[in-house]
């Protein structure tokens, strides 16, 4: 299967009003397919003449391609062709594979017995392939996958899709797989069939396989990849989801630290102002790291915020509901260790659930001694099992107590010999801390970990929360 040459464009589209559309897609194809060299300057008026497009259409196409890092507009008259990085394309499609699997799993209930609109989009894709109308194919392909994400009712997935401009990426890349489109288009039918039967797990895995197959076809065609700027957008989206500053909680001094092992991580923490002056405190760690883990983390954060901010009598029910959501909507190999607590400043009472997370420490000094209390797990990680009970524990904090919560990127930091720093080292350091502020405690932990690892590369995300009870409240 081949695209029509530009000199054939007018004849192809005569009588059906598609000349502008075909020429526009040809421009997409040439700019993404390597016809123009990186660094080459393109005058918009010359592009308009060659592709028989009006100036506004050319500007619109180039603006879209600027969003995915293929060109840079210079004023209203020039565009500079940019080089792209294959590694970045791979990472972007990893994001798409993960979010579509999650979307398919979550959308199954809403789409069970109601996939007529998806079938319509697939039939339109088949017709587009027959007519060699790749622009129409891309349009209906985007609609197909967005309808599934919309049916999942997970705004996080749609925001990630939009922030990485996958609608534009599909248009720019589709010409790379023209010979394989008859096979690619038929991969959509079993996805519809499983969603029609409400089989979310199966549909999610097929969606992931579809995206990975598409990526492999693009790589086999030597497609140049997407730009670093889009992955920076994804990182910025994640960073914006973390607390932008440490909260002001009555009677509590709070300090936090977070550093992902890659540009995007799977650790999680949050502070939630609740009713009656209470505060929610959360820290978690998604199995794995990087882009897919970050998507699962973002979904957890959105779900926990939505439910925790509503009146909730029982913490066990709250975490149980979150467990159900994560289990049903996440890829099979993902789960989340989670410590979630509600702190009441008026009584210094901490009620918590520990779902398989590293036990936070409470340090208490008395007559020169350091007592260490561990807030140990009482349930499996969130998303690991469908039906799990989460017991609620209560701890009475006292003035000058220090609560330290962390992820295993701290205790499992390795030196060059593969030895881990360890939980005992952390406990020992904290007991001999002297009287230090939460900020100083975090800095001391990081210094000790750095000394132990002797400059070895960071292998896992690192998160620390240190909270000290103030004496006068």
The answer on 455 and 386 residing in a single domain is yes
Indicate whether 364 and 444 sit together in one domain. Answer: yes
Q: Percentage of residues in the chain with pLDDT exceeding 70?
A: 87
pLDDT band at 307 (very low <50, low <70, confident <90, very high): confident
The CATH number given to whatever domain includes residue 91 is 1.20.120.530
Q: What is the dihedral of CA 409, 319, 297, 424, to 10 degrees?
A: 0
pLDDT, residue 120, reads 96
Q: Assess whether 156 and 205 both reside in one domain.
A: yes
The structural domain count of the chain equals 3
- 371 within domain boundaries: yes
Q: Among the three residues 170, 204, 233, which one is the final residue of a domain in this structure?
A: 233
Q: Supply the pLDDT for residue 224.
A: 41
pLDDT of residue 208: 93
* DSSP three-state, residue 198: coil
**Are 289 and 200 in a shared domain?**
no
Q: Is residue 47 part of a domain?
A: yes
| 313 CB-near residues (< 8 Å, 6+ apart) | none
Task: Give the highest mean pLDDT range of 8-17, 195-204, 226-235.
Answer: 195-204
**CATH number of the domain where residue 448 is located:** 3.60.40.10
Q: What is the dihedral of CA 93, 97, 99, 102, to 10 degrees?
A: -170
Query: What is the C-alpha to C-alpha distance for residues 327 and 106, in angstroms, rounded to an integer?
Result: 10
Q: Note the pTM of the prediction, 2 decimals.
A: 0.58
Tell me: do 299 and 369 sit in the same domain.
yes
Q: Is the pLDDT score of 29 beyond 90? A: no
Compare 235 and 139 and report the one with higher pLDDT. Answer: 139
Q: Are 225 and 258 contained in the same domain?
A: no
- Paired tokens of 221: 């065609």
- Clarify whether residues 389 and 319 are in a common domain: yes
- Provide mean pLDDT across the span 238-253: 85
Does pLDDT of 445 surpass 90? yes
Residue 268 lies in a domain: yes
User: Does some domain include residue 392?
Assistant: yes
Structure tokens belonging to residue 444: 């001391």
Domain stops at, among 21, 52, 81: 81
* End-to-end alpha carbon distance in the chain: 75
Statement: residue 92 has pLDDT above 60: yes
Least trusted range by pLDDT, from 263-267, 369-373, 390-394, 401-405 = 263-267
Residues 448 and 427 both lie in one domain: yes
Query: Residue 192's closest CA among 109, 88, 119?
Result: 119
- The pLDDT tens digits for 161-176 are 888 888 877 877 787 7
193 and 261 in a single domain? The answer is: no
Q: Is the pLDDT of residue 266 over 70?
A: yes
Q: Which pair of tokens denotes residue 324?
A: 């159900």
Whether 185 and 59 map to the same domain: the answer is: no
Q: How confident is the model at residue 16 (pLDDT cuts 50, 70, 90)?
A: very low
Residue 464 lies in a domain: yes
Pairwise CA distance, residues 107 & 396, whole Å: 42
User: Hey, which of 307-316, 333-342, 453-462 has the most confident mean pLDDT?
Assistant: 333-342
135-158: per-residue pLDDT in tens?
889 889 999 999 999 999 888 888
* Residue ranges making up the domain that contains 72: 6-81
Which of 185-189, 228-232, 358-362 is least confident? Answer: 228-232
Across 16-20, 85-89, 225-229, 357-361, least confident range: 225-229
The answer to the question of residue 324 being in a domain is yes
Asked whether the predicted pLDDT for residue 194 surpasses 70, the reply is: yes
Q: With contact defined as beta carbons under 8 Å apart, do 101 and 204 qualify?
A: yes
Residue 308 resides in a domain: yes
Q: Are residues 300 and 439 in the same domain?
A: yes
- What mean pLDDT, rounded, does the chain reach? 84
Half-sphere exposure of 385 (CA within 13 A, CB side): 9
Q: At what angle do helices 19-32 and 55-67 cross, to 10 degrees?
A: 40
DSSP state, residue 178: G
Q: Please check the confidence at residue 5 and state whether its pLDDT lies above 50.
A: no
State the burial class of residue 194 (Cβ atoms within 10 Å of its Cβ: 0-12, 13-18, 19+). buried
Q: Give pLDDT, residue 425.
A: 92
The verdict on 135 and 274 lying in the same domain is: no
Average pLDDT of the residues in 333-342: 91
Asked, for residue 191, whether it belongs to a domain, the answer is yes
Confirm if 224 and 84 have CB atoms less than 8 A apart.
yes
Helix and strand numbers (H, E) in the chain are: 18, 13
User: Among residues 15, 47, 81, which one ends one of the domains?
Assistant: 81
CA–CA gap between residue 152 and residue 146 (Å, rounded): 10
Signed CA dihedral, 186, 333, 265, 245: sign only: positive
């Amino acid at each position: 299967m081949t695209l029509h040459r530009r000199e054939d464009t007018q004849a192809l589209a005569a009588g059906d009003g598609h000349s502008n559309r075909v020429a526009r897609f040809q421009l997409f194809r040439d700019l993404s397919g390597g016809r123009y060299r990186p660094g080459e300057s393109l005058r918009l008026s010359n592009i308009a003449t060659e592709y028989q497009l009006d100036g506004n259409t050319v500007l619109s196409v180039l603006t879209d391609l600027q969003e995915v890092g293929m060109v840079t507009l210079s004023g209203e008259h020039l565009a500079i062709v940019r080089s792209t990085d294959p590694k970045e394309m791979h990472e972007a499609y990893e994001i798409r594979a993960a979010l579509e699997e999650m979307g398919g799993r979550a959308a199954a209930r809403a789409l069970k017995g109601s996939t007529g609109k998806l079938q319509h989009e697939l039939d339109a894709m088949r017709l587009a392939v027959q007519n060699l109308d790749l622009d129409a194919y891309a349009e209906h392909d985007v609609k197909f996958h967005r309808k599934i994400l919309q049916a999942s009712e997970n705004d996080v997935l749609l925001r990630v899709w939009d922030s990485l401009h996958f609608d534009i990426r599909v248009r720019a890349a589709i010409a790379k797989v023209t010979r394989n489109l008859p096979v690619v288009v038929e991969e959509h039918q079993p996805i519809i069939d499983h969603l029609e039967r409400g089989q979310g797990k199966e549909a999610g895995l097929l969606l992931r396989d579809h995206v990975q197959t598409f990526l492999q076809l693009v790589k086999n065609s030597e497609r140049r990849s997407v730009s670093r700027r889009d992955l920076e957008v994804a990182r910025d989206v994640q960073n914006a989801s973390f607390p932008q500053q440490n909260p002001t909680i009555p009677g509590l001094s709070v300090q936090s630290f977070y550093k992902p092992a890659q540009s995007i991580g799977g650790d999680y923490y949050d502070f939630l102002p609740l009713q009656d002056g209470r505060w929610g405190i959360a820290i978690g760690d998604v199995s794995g790291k990087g882009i897919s883990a970050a998507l699962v983390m973002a979904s957890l954060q959105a779900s926990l915020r939505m439910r925790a901010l509503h009146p909730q009598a029982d913490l066990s029910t709250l975490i149980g509901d979150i467990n159900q959501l994560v289990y049903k909507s996440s890829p099979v190999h993902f789960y989340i260790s989670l410590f979630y607590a509600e702190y009441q400043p008026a009584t210094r009472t901490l009620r918590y659930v520990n779902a398989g997370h590293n036990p936070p420490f409470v340090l208490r000094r008395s007559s020169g001694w350091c007592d260490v209390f561990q807030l140990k797990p009482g349930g499996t990680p969130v998303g690991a099992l469908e039906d799990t009970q989460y017991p609620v524990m209560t701890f009475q904090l006292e003035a000058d107590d220090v609560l330290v919560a962390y992820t295993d990127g701290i205790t499992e930091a390795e030196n060059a010999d593969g030895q881990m720093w360890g939980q005992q080292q952390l406990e020992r350091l904290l007991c001999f801390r002297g009287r230090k502020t939460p900020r100083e405690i975090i800095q001391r932990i990081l210094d000790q970990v750095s000394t132990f690892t002797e400059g070895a590369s960071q292998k896992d995300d690192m998160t620390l929360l240190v909270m000290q009870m103030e004496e006068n409240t």
